[in-house]
């Protein structure tokens, strides 16, 4: 049966919702892809993520091909053009199909009168592609990051920012966490090999396997039975550093969607885990993840800044605080972050993180352990945050063998950018 939708126009709408309405791709895509086939879903994702990954280059190409970009009611057509150029410059989609489908997208977007324009610009791009591609590398758009973020990375990592930017601009590898309650990592690797899925272990993270190629979860042996979870290797370091023990009372604060809640329980199945998050919708995902893995935790909607409202007389043996952050360590997975975040957001996030840390620290037992984690690579949210906390709290000891926590940078074929610090409460 012929599709009744035009995928390129849906991609243009998704991009418009991100760039013009400030919504994240992970929020807008589920709605937009509700009635499309699985095969088309992955192409839609490739188009949306891809365009947002290389956005400044696409802007630059269009600026070379049109005197003025389309604005106002025609703005979505500007994004449709980006989708068209993206296919020609960055994918193996045959040019004739990319062109025809993109031009038809104008009709789907109720602007059939602009089909000729879209066709003309895409054909000009094709004609000039080689020389435009040569010129784009000498252009400021080359790094594909907003200038405020580039400046922060250059200041924080004068010798390493280019490697970070290069890693951010790649498509991310897919990592699995093997559920040690079902299989050893070596045994699960054999199951993958039998299923003709190539994967590699990690020397430091015992449950992690990197897939040679991203694979649909339905193809992973025992996914529905909870044998394995999709989780970046750096994120796996949080629960490992927390080192939960059997029967302990553990708070997983800022828990949704529950990637780390389930890891804690795989490491200590009899631990009593309380998973708290401010976002009720996102907490539903924690429940689903626990169900798939057949694990149990208590789930509460709560604000980390006011724990007396949801844990009045309680104290915990261990606390994992996976704080809300800029997510600058996971740009390769969420390229929309580059265009959704603003420089001013960082100070606001740093304040929120400090408020949650201050409020939750009294809930930790003496001798207990708190792991503070973010998927940020900005020192303000990480090492600086922890150093300032240590200054305010002489009873807090950094107990992870570092002087200001572990800052992990994103690496091609490696893990995401992440930060964790382990604090112990002295008497």
Ligand X SMILES: C[S@@+](CC[C@H](N)C(=O)[O-])C[C@H]1O[C@@H](n2cnc3c(N)ncnc32)[C@H](O)[C@@H]1O
Q: Looking at the annotation, which residues are catalytic?
A: 375
Is 279 among the residues that bind ligand X (CB under 6 A)? yes
Q: Where are the alpha helices (DSSP H) in 169-320?
A: 185-194, 233-242, 259-267, 280-293
Chosen residue from 304, 335, 379, 405 binding ligand X by CB under 6 A: 304
Contact mark string toward ligand X, 152..191, x via CB under 6 A: ----------------------------------------
Question: Of 275, 265, 204, which is closest to residue 229 (Cα–Cα)?
Answer: 265
Q: Which is nearer to ligand X, 15 or 323 (CB)?
A: 323
Q: Minimum CB separation from ligand X for residue 415, in Å?
A: 14
Q: Which is nearer to ligand X, 79 or 419 (CB)?
A: 419
Pick 13 or 229: Cβ nearer ligand X: 229
Candidates 18-26, 102-110, 111-119, 275-283: pick the segment binding ligand X (CB under 6 A).
275-283
Q: Which residues contact 82 (CB under 8 A, 6 or more apart)?
A: 12, 15, 51, 55, 58, 59, 62
End-to-end Cα separation, the chain, in angstroms:
70
Residue 405: Cβ-neighbour burial (10 angstroms; 0-12, 13-18, 19+):
buried
Nearer to ligand X, 101 or 277 (CB): 277
Q: Could you tell me if 250 and 316 are in contact, meaning their C-beta atoms sit under 8 angstroms apart?
A: yes
Taking the C-alpha atoms of residue 276 and residue 301, their distance in angstroms, rounded to an integer, is 6
Are the CB atoms for 104 and 12 separated by under 8 Å? no
Q: Which two tokens stand for residue 334?
A: 């969420």
| Cα gap 52→83, rounded to integer Å | 10
Among 322, 336, 381, 416, binds ligand X (CB under 6 A): 322
Query: How would you classify the pairing of strands 406-408 and 316-322?
Result: unpaired
Does 303 bind ligand X (CB under 6 A)? Our answer is yes
Is 278 one of the binding residues for ligand X (CB under 6 A)? yes
Among 232, 248, 277, 317, binds ligand X (CB under 6 A): 277
Kindly give the pairing relationship between strand 418-425 and strand 396-398.
antiparallel
Q: In the stretch 283-302, what mask flags binding to ligand X with x, by CB under 6 A? A: --------------------
> Least distance from C-beta 296 to ligand X, angstroms?
17
Helices and strands of the chain, counted as H and E runs = 16, 12
- CB 304 within 8 Å of CB 277: no
Site string for ligand X, 352-391 (x = CB under 6 A): ----x------------------x----------------
245-274: contacts with ligand X (CB under 6 A): 254-260
Neighbours of 130 (CB within 10 A): 9
Closest CB to ligand X among residues 75, 363: 363
Rg of the Cα atoms in the chain: 23
Decide: is 46 part of the binding site for ligand X (CB under 6 A). Answer: no
Q: How many residues bind ligand X (CB under 6 A)?
A: 18
Minimum CB separation of residue 283 from ligand X in Å reads 8
Q: CB of 356: closest distance to ligand X in angstroms? A: 6
Which of residues 101 and 232 has its CB atom nearest to ligand X in the complex? Answer: 232
325/64 Cα distance (integer angstroms): 36
Task: Select from 65, 46, 59, 63 the least CA-distant residue to 19.
Answer: 59
Binding mask 203-242 for ligand X (x = CB under 6 A): ----------------------------------------
Question: By CB under 6 A, is residue 307 in contact with ligand X?
Answer: no
In the complex with ligand X, which residue's Cβ is closer, 304 or 405? 304
Least separation, in Å, of the C-beta of 314 and ligand X?
A: 16
Options 16-24, 144-152, 278-286, 387-395: segment touching ligand X (CB under 6 A): 278-286
141, 42 contact by CB (below 8 A): no
Nearer to ligand X, 37 or 306 (CB): 306
Distance (Å, rounded) from C-alpha 381 to C-alpha 361?
Answer: 17
Q: φ, ψ for residue 86 (rounded to 5)?
A: -55, -45
Closest distance of CB 177 from ligand X, Å: 11
Q: Which of 142, 171, 182, 282 binds ligand X (CB under 6 A)?
A: 282
Residues sharing a CB contact under 8 Å with residue 379, sequence separation 6 or more, in sequence order: 156, 407
Binding-site ranges for ligand X (CB under 6 A): 254-260, 277-279, 282, 303-305, 322, 324, 356, 375
């Amino acid at each position: 049966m012929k599709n009744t939708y035009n995928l390129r126009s849906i991609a243009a709408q998704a991009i418009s919702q991100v760039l013009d309405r400030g919504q994240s791709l992970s929020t807008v895509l589920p709605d937009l892809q509700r009635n499309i086939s699985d095969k088309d879903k992955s192409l839609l994702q490739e188009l949306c993520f891809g365009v947002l990954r290389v956005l400044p280059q696409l802007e630059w190409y269009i600026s070379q091909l049109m005197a003025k970009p389309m604005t106002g009611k025609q703005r979505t057509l500007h994004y449709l053009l980006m989708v068209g150029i993206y296919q020609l410059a960055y994918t193996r989609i045959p040019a004739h199909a990319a062109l025809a489908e993109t031009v038809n997208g104008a009709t789907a977007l109720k602007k059939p009168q602009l089909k000729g324009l879209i066709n003309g610009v895409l054909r000009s791009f094709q004609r000039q592609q080689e020389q435009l591609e040569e010129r784009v590398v000498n252009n400021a758009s080359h790094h594909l990051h907003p200038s405020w973020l580039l400046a922060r990375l250059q200041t924080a990592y004068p010798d390493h920012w280019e490697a970070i930017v290069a890693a951010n601009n790649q498509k991310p590898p897919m990592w699995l966490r093997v559920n040690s309650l079902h299989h050893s990592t070596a045994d699960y690797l054999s199951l993958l090999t039998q299923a003709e899925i190539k994967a590699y272990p990690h020397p430091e993270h015992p449950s992690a396997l990197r897939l040679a190629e991203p694979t649909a979860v339905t193809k992973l042996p025992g996914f529905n039975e909870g044998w394995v979870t999709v989780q970046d290797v750096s994120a796996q370091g949080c629960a490992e550093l927390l080192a939960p023990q059997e029967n302990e009372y553990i708070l997983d604060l800022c828990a949704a969607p529950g990637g780390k809640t389930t890891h804690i329980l795989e490491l200590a199945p009899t631990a009593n885990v309380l998973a708290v998050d401010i976002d009720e919708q996102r907490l539903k995902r924690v429940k689903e993840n626990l169900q798939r893995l057949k694990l149990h935790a208590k789930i509460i909607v709560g604000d980390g800044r006011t724990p007396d409202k949801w844990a009045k007389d309680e104290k915990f043996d261990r606390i994992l605080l996976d704080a809300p952050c800029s997510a600058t360590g996971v740009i390769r997975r969420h390229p929309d972050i580059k265009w959704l975040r603003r420089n001013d957001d960082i100070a606001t996030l740093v304040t929120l993180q400090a408020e949650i840390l201050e409020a939750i620290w009294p809930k930790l037992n003496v001798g207990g352990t708190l792991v503070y984690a973010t998927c940020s690579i900005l020192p303000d949210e990480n090492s600086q945050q922890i150093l300032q906390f240590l200054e305010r709290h002489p009873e807090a000891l950094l107990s992870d063998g570092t002087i200001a926590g572990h800052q992990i940078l994103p690496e091609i074929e490696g893990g995401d950018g992440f930060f964790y610090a382990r604090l112990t409460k002295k008497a």
